A and B are shown apart, each in its own frame.
Chain A
Amino acid sequence: GDSVTQMEGPVTLSEEACLTINCTYTATGYPSLFWYVQYPGEGLQLLLKATKADDKGSNKGFEATYRKETTSFHLEKGSVQVSDSAVYFCALSDRPGNKLVFGAGTILRVKS
């Protein structure tokens, strides 16, 4: 079945450092890809998404590009802030509106 693999954390960075969180997927067809963020004790918030190959999702300085050839959707940010500390989940759905399949999540800790 479909699956998502994320790099293990936690990832600890200093403020203003560059961030990359790797995400690769296995799916038949052409899934939609998502990044969600979860702050402590809260639900998930959509960070960005991409629905077809070569699409780039972006939001709040974060970016991810749908790479079909490498089945990847890596999350990047050029300069992280302490407020970015959270858990980041990569996810896919095989068709719009179908269930989401999540990766294991990556904890990001940003130190001032």
Chain B
Amino acid sequence: GAVVSQHPSWVICKSGTSVKIECRSLDFQATTMFWYRQFPKQSLMLMATSNEGSKATYEQGVEKDKFLINHASLTLSTLTVTSAHPEDSSFYICSARDRVDYGYTFGSGTRLTVV
């Protein structure tokens, strides 16, 4: 079946540094990538939607200059958390939409801890 590879699975970084999270669709073309954030014991909150080759659309309240999203190809999207702070610590999950059947495939998530 469809697989989305998300890396890293966990990362610890210092306050003020930037962290890049990658999501790759391994055996299908993802025209759209959704980026979610999940706080402990809570649901997934959509941060932004990115379409290949165009700028991402951010949900209300999400800082686009802080959470940089790039979707340069049909198989790769990246989320960069810039100047990370402890409140950015969370579980980030990507979800790729298949170009053909519009199915959603989720990455395994990235646990970000900012110290």
Contact = CB atoms under 8 A, between A and B. Distances in A.
Do the two chains bind?
yes
Contact of A43 (B6, B32, B49): B6
Given A43-B93, A43-B109, A102 B34 contact: no
A97 interface: yes
A96 B102 contact: yes
Interface residues of B, number: 20
Interface residues on A, range: 10 to 19
A89 B46 contact: no
A67 B108 CA distance: 31
Interface of B: 6, 32, 34, 41-44, 46, 49, 93, 95, 97, 102-104, 106-109, 111
Interface of A: 36, 41-46, 89, 96-97, 99-105, 107
